[in-house]
Amino acid sequence: MSTKKDGIMVILSSPSGAGKTTIVKLLSKNKNFYISTSHTTREPRSSEVADKDYYFVNHEKFEKLIKNEEFLEYAKVFKHLYGTTRTPVIEKLEKGENVIFDIDWQGADQIKNKKLNYKLITFFILPPSREVLFERLSNRDMKDKLIVEERMKEFSRDVLHWINYDYVIVNDNLDECYFKINNLIEAEINNGSKDYDKDYIRKHVNKLTS
Residues making contact with ligand 5GP (CB under 6 A): 16, 38, 42, 73, 75, 77-78, 82-84, 102-104, 106-107
Q: Where are the beta strands (DSSP E) in the chain?
A: 9-13, 34-35, 38-40, 54-56, 71-77, 80-85, 99-102, 120-126, 167-170
Return phi, psi of residue 92, to 5°: -65, -45
Sign of the alpha-carbon torsion through 163, 165, 169, 170: negative
Q: Rounded to the nearest whole angstrom, what is the least distance from the CB of residue 199 to ligand 5GP in the complex?
A: 27
Nearer to ligand 5GP, 75 or 121 (CB): 75
Nearer to ligand 5GP, 6 or 73 (CB): 73
Between 6 and 102, whose beta carbon lies closer to ligand 5GP?
102
Rounded CA separation 49/15 (Å): 22
In whole angstroms, the minimum distance from the beta carbon of 146 to ligand 5GP comes to: 16
Which of 43, 47, 36 shows the shortest CA–CA distance to 13?
36
What's the closest the beta carbon of residue 190 comes to ligand 5GP, in angstroms? 28
Smallest gap from Cβ 21 to ligand 5GP, in A, equals 8
Q: Which residue is nearest to ligand 5GP (CB)?
A: 107
